[in-house]
């Protein structure tokens, strides 16, 4: 049925596809099984790969089945055939699966299946399965067919081995790069807080597992005022980390020389707008400037959550409301400015959405009201103690529920 | 957490009935929902059953609005729960895309 020339041609095409698979392209294996089904005129084919996570396991790397309607779930059939090969290490040819005790769910007497072990030296790295209708070929034709499957199989073994090596190396490299990005981002967060008479300061970032986009910077301006900038880049991963770094540079540049907050925020928007809007990304940014001599806090807001102000006199918490579109939203926007005069004992909490959106196991969010309540009940402490206590309370709320977003907090308290 | 989008076509208006959460795990579904609009002139996103939107979700909404406008399709987001609207409002979406684009659910 298949002459030498066509066999060679088919093997050549399989091999040329396999070369591509070395570039970590698992789609190639789907192309190979589709090609084999088409050329060998069989119903279906699949390739399985051995996984070693928590004992020997198997994972289907590629699957193709021609349009023919079959009365039961075929994926089960090739799963079981592959599992038998993984278990026993030998090839399998079942001419009639009807009476085979391993195929309870596939009680069909018109299918045959062959599963071929893909072994690199003695290690079983995968299984190659083919199944078809028995009535299409004679018993002898099927025997010949199996020898062709073996030839294809030995080519697949090499391809699969290279693919595995490459994808493992690639995976390690990506994990390492993400770790580096995480570390760089962490290094961009404030390490040493400025010392300023009359106030206490505290900051904390709790990173989620992924690379997030939280941004915080605290610095003294030329005339010894305190600048606090907090923000959040939309999305996660490397792009968010890059934008966070860009925002930090743009903000520092805009804020030097004691620039008024709204001028600084407007300038950051003008600088970042073209690239942000082109990429469909945005950054929220709140910049506050505290003057320790007359205790005024001026601020401007580009889409960030309003900071919470605890008033010592009234023992009440109020948000510092001021609206403004996010950075990257409106070209050449002139942002607004607002301000409050603080008094001894007053506390301002700056935070990112990870705090109020933190979930517990019942999928309930912490919420801004609860944060205000916690701030109120911890108001006697200094800024860094307040942060510690908020974190403990947060932990009690979330329990061991997996946190998916970065949480960033900064507290400014007027002590005298 | 998931997002379901039901597409209903009425003449040249497409109504997208959405339910669930709009965050980093579901935002792609929102973006895909406005593919292949053909002769559609107006898209109405019904947010009545959207319970939560995070900042990536807001980014998704912004990109969908921009994509529609680029193709001269009017888009409106209706029935937004007040707590969800608060998130959109803090980020400034009504300022960026016009107040008339967003309609809060009357409680």
- Digit-coded pLDDT (tens) for A388-397: 999 999 989 9
Q: What's the number of CA atoms in the CB half-sphere (13 Å) around residue A142?
A: 20
Identify whether the C-beta of residue A129 lies closer than 8 Å to the C-beta of residue A81.
Answer: yes
* A131-153: average pLDDT: 78
A9 vs A350, higher pLDDT: A350
Identify whether the C-beta of residue A385 lies closer than 8 Å to the C-beta of residue A415.
Answer: no
Q: Which residues of chain B have pLDDT under 70?
A: 1
Note whether A329 contacts B: Cβ–Cβ < 8 A: yes
Q: Cα distance from A340 to chain B (closest Cα, Å)?
A: 20
- In which order are the strands placed within the sheet that holds B3-10? B3-10, B13-22, B42-53, B74-80, B102-104
Identify whether the C-beta of residue A117 lies closer than 8 Å to the C-beta of residue A147.
Answer: no
Coil vs helix vs strand at A350: strand
Q: B20-38, pLDDT tens digit by residue?
A: 999 888 888 888 888 878 8
* A177-181: average pLDDT: 78
Q: A399-416, pLDDT tens digit by residue?
A: 888 777 889 999 999 999
Q: A61-74, pLDDT tens digit by residue?
A: 888 887 655 544 45
- In this structure, the strands spanning A338-341 and A296-302 are antiparallel
Residues 61-90 of B with CB under 8 A from A: 62-63, 66, 89-90
What does the longest C-alpha to C-alpha distance in chain A come to? 98
Identify whether the C-beta of residue B52 lies closer than 8 Å to the C-beta of residue A286.
Answer: no
Interface probe for A, chosen from B63, B82, B89, B92 (most Cβ of A below 10 Å), is: B92
Coil vs helix vs strand at A10: helix
Would you call A235 and B62 a contact, using CB atoms and an 8 Å cutoff?
no
- CB pairs A-B closer than 8 Å: 57
A73 vs A156, higher pLDDT: A156
User: How much is the mean pLDDT over chain B?
Assistant: 91
Q: Which residue of B has its CA nearest to A321?
A: B90
Coil vs helix vs strand at A385: helix
Cα dihedral across residues A71, A74, A80, A85: positive or negative? positive
pLDDT at A20: 65
Which CATH fold would you assign to the domain B3-104?
Answer: Transcription Regulator spoIIAA (3.30.750)
**Alpha-carbon span A255 to A290, nearest angstrom:** 12
Q: Cα distance from A265 to chain B (closest Cα, Å)?
A: 14
pLDDT at A408: 94
Q: What are the domain boundaries of chain B? A: 3-104
The partner residue sitting opposite B59, judged by closest CB among A234, A302, A357, is: A234
Give the orientation angle of helix A139-188 with respect to helix A27-40, to 10 degrees: 170
Q: Which residues does chain B have within 8 Å of residue A302's beta carbon, measured at their own beta carbons?
A: 92
Q: A192-230, pLDDT tens digit by residue?
A: 899 999 999 999 988 776 777 899 999 999 999 999 999
Its ipTM equals: 0.88
The partner residue sitting opposite A357, judged by closest CB among B54, B66, B95, is: B54
- Kindly list the structural domains of chain A, giving each domain's residue range(s) and its CATH number in brackets, ordered by start: 4-173 (3.30.450.40), 190-414 (3.60.40.10)
Q: Cα distance from B96 to chain A (closest Cα, Å)?
A: 6
pLDDT at A1: 52
Cα A232-B93-A340 angle, rounded to 5 deg: 65
pLDDT at A127: 92
Note whether A408 contacts B: Cβ–Cβ < 8 A: no
Q: Which residues does chain B have within 8 Å of residue A363's beta carbon, measured at their own beta carbons?
A: 1
pLDDT of residue A248 exceeding 60, the answer is yes
The pLDDT-based confidence of A54 (bands split at 50, 70, 90) is very low
pLDDT of residue A99 exceeding 60, the answer is no
Q: What is the DSSP letter of A17?
A: H
Q: Cα distance from A27 to chain B (closest Cα, Å)?
A: 22
Percent of chain A predicted with pLDDT > 70: 89
Task: For residue A196, count other CB atoms closer than 10 A to its CB.
Answer: 15
* A338-364: average pLDDT: 93
Beta strands in B1-107 (DSSP E): 3-10, 13-22, 42-53, 74-80, 102-104
Length of chain B (residues): 107
**Alpha-carbon span B91 to A239, nearest angstrom:** 20
pLDDT at B32: 85
Who contacts A21 (Cβ-Cβ below 8 Å, separation ≥6)? A28, A29, A159, A160, A162, A163
* A71-87: average pLDDT: 73
**Alpha-carbon span A48 to A127, nearest angstrom:** 5
Note whether A303 contacts B: Cβ–Cβ < 8 A: yes
Q: Scanning the structure block, which residue is given the tokens 């026993």?
A: A88
Task: For residue A334, count other CB atoms closer than 10 A to its CB.
Answer: 12
Coil vs helix vs strand at A100: coil
pLDDT at A273: 96
Q: Which residues does chain B have within 8 Å of residue A232's beta carbon, measured at their own beta carbons?
A: 55
Coil vs helix vs strand at A294: coil
Among A347, A349, A356, which Cα is nearest to A310's?
A347
**Alpha-carbon span A391 to A380, nearest angstrom:** 16
The pLDDT-based confidence of A108 (bands split at 50, 70, 90) is low
Phi-psi category of A258—alpha, beta or left, where left has phi over 0 and alpha has psi -120 to 50? left
Would you call A305 and B90 a contact, using CB atoms and an 8 Å cutoff?
yes
Q: Which residues does chain A have within 8 Å of residue B24's beta carbon, measured at their own beta carbons?
A: 235-236
* A185-195: average pLDDT: 86
Would you call B63 and A280 a contact, using CB atoms and an 8 Å cutoff?
yes
User: How much is the mean pLDDT over chain A?
Assistant: 85
Q: A279-320, pLDDT tens digit by residue?
A: 889 999 999 999 999 999 999 999 999 999 999 999 999 999
Torsion, Cα of A141, A146, A151, A156 (10° steps): 130
Residues 3-62 of B with CB under 8 A from A: 24, 52, 54-56, 58-59, 62
């Amino acid at each position: 049925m298949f002459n030498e020339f066509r066999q060679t041609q088919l093997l050549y095409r399989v091999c040329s596809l396999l070369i591509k698979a070395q570039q970590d392209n698992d789609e190639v294996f789907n192309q190979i099984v589709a090609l084999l089904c088409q050329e060998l005129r069989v119903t279906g084919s699949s390739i399985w790969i051995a996984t070693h996570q928590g004992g020997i396991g198997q994972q289907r790397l590629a699957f193709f089945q021609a349009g023919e309607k079959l009365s039961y779930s075929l994926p089960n059939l090739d799963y079981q055939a592959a599992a038998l090969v993984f278990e026993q290490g030998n090839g399998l040819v079942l001419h009639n699966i009807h009476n085979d005790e391993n195929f309870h769910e596939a009680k069909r007497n018109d299918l045959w299946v062959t599963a071929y072990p893909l072994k690199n030296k003695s290690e079983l790295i995968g299984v190659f399965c083919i199944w078809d209708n028995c009535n299409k070929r004679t018993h002898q034709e099927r025997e010949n067919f199996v020898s062709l499957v073996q030839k294809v199989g030995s080519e697949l073994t090499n391809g699969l081995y290279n693919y595995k090596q490459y994808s493992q190396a690639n995976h390690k490299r990506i994990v390492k790069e993400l770790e580096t990005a995480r570390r760089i981002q962490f290094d961009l967060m404030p390490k040493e807080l400025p010392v300023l008479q009359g106030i206490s300061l505290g900051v904390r970032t709790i990173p989620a597992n992924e690379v997030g986009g939280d941004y915080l910077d605290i610095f003294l301006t030329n005339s010894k005022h305190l600048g606090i900038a907090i923000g959040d880049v939309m999305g996660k991963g490397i792009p968010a980390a890059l934008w966070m770094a860009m925002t930090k540079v743009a903000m520092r540049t805009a804020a030097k020389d004691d620039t008024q907050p709204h001028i600084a925020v407007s300038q950051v928007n003008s600088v970042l707008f073209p690239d942000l809007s082109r990429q469909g990304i945005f950054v929220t940014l709140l910049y506050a400037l505290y003057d320790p001599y007359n205790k005024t806090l001026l601020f401007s807001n580009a889409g960030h959550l309003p900071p919470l102000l605890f008033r010592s006199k009234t023992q009440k918490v109020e948000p510092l409301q001021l609206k403004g579109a996010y950075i990257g939203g409106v070209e050449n926007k002139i942002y607004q400015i607002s301000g409050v005069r603080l008094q001894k004992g007053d506390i301002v909490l700056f935070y990112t959405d990870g705090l109020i959106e933190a979930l517990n196991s019942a999928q309930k969010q912490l919420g801004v009201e609860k944060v205000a309540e916690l701030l109120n009940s911890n108001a006697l402490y200094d800024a860094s103690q307040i942060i510690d206590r908020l974190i403990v309370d947060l932990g009690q709320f979330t329990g061991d529920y997996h946190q998916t977003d970065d949480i960033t907090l900064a507290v400014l308290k007027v002590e005298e | 957490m998931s997002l379901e989008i039901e597409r209903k076509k009425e003449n040249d208006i497409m109504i997208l009935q959405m339910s669930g959460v709009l965050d980093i795990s579901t935002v792609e579904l929102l973006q895909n929902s406005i593919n292949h609009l053909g002769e559609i002139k107006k898209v109405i996103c019904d947010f009545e059953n959207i319970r939560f939107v995070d900042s990536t979700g807001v980014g998704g909404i912004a990109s969908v609005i921009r994509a529609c406008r680029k193709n001269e399709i009017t888009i409106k987001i209706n029935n937004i729960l007040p707590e969800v609207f608060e998130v959109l409002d803090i980020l400034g979406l009504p300022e960026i895309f016009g107040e008339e684009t967003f309609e809060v659910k009357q409680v």
